[in-house]
Structure 1
Amino acid sequence: MNYRTLGKTNLKISEISLGTWQVGGKWGDPFDFKNAEQILNKAVDGGVNFIDTADVYGNEIGQSETAVGRFVKSRSEKIYIATKCGRQINPHVNEGYQPKILRKYVEDSLTRMGLDTIDLIQLHCPPTEVYYRPEIFEEFDKLKDEGKIQNLGISVEKVEEALKGIEFENVCTVQIIFNMFRQRPSELFFEQAKKKNIGILARVPLASGLLTGKFSKESSFGQNDHRFFNRNGEMFDKGETFSGIDYETGLQAVEELKTVFKEKNMAQMALRWILDFDAISCVIPGASHPEQVESNIGALNSPNLRPEQIIAIKGVYDKYIKPQVHQLW
């Protein structure tokens, strides 16, 4: 495993870390604590020392956090935990974001995970208007002074939100969708993040599985899987599902990418492409079984992409993807 500094947190975290949106099983399946434990153990055995979770991950509030909390106590290694708050607000609107509500969410997360402090708490994709409210960010300074959190980050949908969020001095990290089908962050945002020493966590690195190259027109997804019910943003931001790409268009793009990578593991190439950007602190692919963790970590054995491959990837993006998504997020 290789490690990079997570911006001004100064934490040294694994280049390949673990996102736990579906760690207890496939999307929509009942949460399986035993499976979650196996996935988490496989990750840490492979050198992962950074786990990203959220209070809303799982079929019920707190299931993923509970699994992560139990797991951390079972290991002797130093494991950094990042969680998130805000998505419990319903309806999920700007007015629902209040300092005392967010404080309660943080305290509940601490209780569920059995921790004294949270290494990184992140606002969980709040409405854009929240980034214009200093009192929200000030509350996290108070929580830090009380020792309940160590660092504040934001998880965003849009580049606009990332740029606005890092204007707040106490924002240390940004979690943002970045992959071969979502390239806009590498422009102005990466430049500004470097200037401010902001750690960048690349989420949805495989475009909800599209970039594994394993899907086809015949592939089906369960009715409780967001890849079935959220393709047009019916439940949350459309960009969370297949990075906002029309599924059929995404399949066409993937077929061309396969010719770029030949017989190589496409998922590993997709992760390698992200890690070749020095602005990135780590990539946080998810896993629904331990074998996926092993495959993801295997990306570190892949050489940096060659210049001609990078040019070809950009060509595929410009042809299929950019017209659909570039200016939306």
Structure 2
Amino acid sequence: MKNRILGKTGQSVSEIGFGAWAIGGTWGEVSMEDAKGALNAALDAGMTFIDTADVYGDGRSEKITADVLQERGGEQPFVATKLGRRLSPHVAAGYTEKNLNEYVDRSRDNLQMDTLDLVQLHCPPTEIYYTPEVFAVMDDMIKNGKIRSYGVSVEKVEEGLKALEFPNVSSIQLIYNIFRQRPAELLLREAKRRDVGIIARVPLASGLLTGKMTADTTFSADDHRAFNRNGEQFDKGETFAGVPFDVALDAVEDIRRLLPGDMTMAKFALRWILMNENVSVIIPGSKNKAQSETNAQASDITALSDETMSALKNIYQSKIAPWVHQRW
């Protein structure tokens, strides 16, 4: 497993990390045994970065993370969590000093950590990026020893660019994959220039880029891929990267023809992201041991050819960009 530096945190982390959303909830049922097996397998494979959030299973993901790390002992991975989405309604007015501190304290308890490695504002309303008082609260948390660093998880490129104006923002998390290529045009370069780490989420477009889905694929009622396709519960772009299911399936078939040898599409899609040196870490999710092991293997894959990269860009521009490019 190769490592990269996570921006101004100065932390060296595995270039493929563990996305802990799936072991928390809204991805269908995941047993405790499978959840812990997935995380243990990721750590055994050399992953040293875990991304979770206080709302993933109402704290389940954070607590599972804490349990596994306590059981394993030894050198601890870098753990990033998020705050803000517990607000109901989720509005900018709720991002008060009191609420933010209460959420951080809850995550500290869940994760059994006195000082959190990284806390990210969890896709806050756009207005927050124009509210310096919120970032001042996060600065105070560093001074008070509750957190070591903070970042933002954004929905839109514009929000990421605005976040870069705050000097203590250490990382930006955003959707970046073969179906969401716009961040590479400006944001990823600007983040690198300002020494801000990039955490790439939804790298497999909610499973579409595994190449295993068909028009007949169904999802359980508690899976966001069943209930959030049109943004019913949260931003539409979080589900299938915002691409209509039928449109994406058509593009997947074009991508399949580019796979070299017996490489799986999942590994291929992760390797595409790693081709961008401005990405610090990718956080694919997994629901079991086998998925974690497969994700980790993408770090060892040979670089994709220029011809392949060009072909993937053409597929994006012709079939996907009209649906997503200017929206996020």
TM-score bracket, normalised by the shorter chain, equals over 0.9
How far 1:25 moved relative to its partner? 6.9
Partner residue in 2 for 1:63? 60
Contact 1:24 1:33 survives alignment (8 Å) = no
How far 1:36 moved relative to its partner? 1.8
Partner residue in 2 for 1:167? 165
Partner residue in 1 for 2:285? 286
Contact 2:178 2:316 survives alignment (8 Å) = yes
Q: Which one has more relative contact order, counting CA pairs under 8 Å at least 6 apart?
A: 2
Partner residue in 2 for 1:255? 253
- 2:132 alignment partner AA: P
Partner residue in 2 for 1:51? 50
How far 1:301 moved relative to its partner? 2.2
Partner residue in 1 for 2:40? 41
Contact 1:24 1:288 survives alignment (8 Å) = no
Partner residue in 2 for 1:12? 12
Contact 2:26 2:222 survives alignment (8 Å) = no
For 1:229-280, what per-residue CA distance to the aligned partner results, in whole angstroms no more than 9, with x for missing partners?
1111111100000000000000000000000115421000000000110000
Alignment of 1:205-284 (within 5 A): 205-262=203-260, 263-284=262-283
- 2:66 alignment partner AA: G
For 1:135-181, what per-residue CA distance to the aligned partner results, in whole angstroms no more than 9, with x for missing partners?
10001111111111000010010001101111101100000000000
- What percentage of residue pairs aligned between the two structures are identical? 49
CA distance in structure 1 between the aligned counterparts of 2:101 and 2:28, rounded to whole angstroms: 29
CA distance in structure 2 between the aligned counterparts of 1:271 and 1:325, rounded to whole angstroms: 20
Extract unaligned runs of 5+ from structure 1.
Answer: none
Q: Identify which of 96, 100, 125 aligns with 1:98.
A: 96
How far 1:24 moved relative to its partner? 5.0
Extract unaligned runs of 5+ from structure 2.
Answer: none
- 1:217 alignment partner AA: A
CA distance in structure 2 between the aligned counterparts of 1:39 and 1:265, rounded to whole angstroms: 19
Instruction: Tell me the number of residue pairs that the alignment of Structure 1 and Structure 2 aligns.
Output: 326
Alignment of 1:192-203 (within 5 A): 192-203=190-201
Contact 1:25 1:289 survives alignment (8 Å) = no
**TM-score for both structures, normalised by structure 2:** 0.97
Match of 2:80, SS?
strand
For 1:101-147, what per-residue CA distance to the aligned partner results, in whole angstroms no more than 9, with x for missing partners?
01110011101111111000000000100111011000111111111
Alignment of 1:281-320 (within 5 A): 281-320=280-319
Contact 2:182 2:325 survives alignment (8 Å) = yes
CA distance in structure 1 between the aligned counterparts of 2:246 and 2:186, rounded to whole angstroms: 29
Match of 1:48, SS?
coil
Partner residue in 2 for 1:72? 69
CA distance in structure 1 between the aligned counterparts of 2:24 and 2:173, rounded to whole angstroms: 21
- 2:211 alignment partner AA: G
The alignment's C-alpha RMSD in Å is 1.1
For 1:27-53, what per-residue CA distance to the aligned partner results, in whole angstroms no more than 9, with x for missing partners?
132x53322211111011111111000
How far 1:78 moved relative to its partner? 2.4
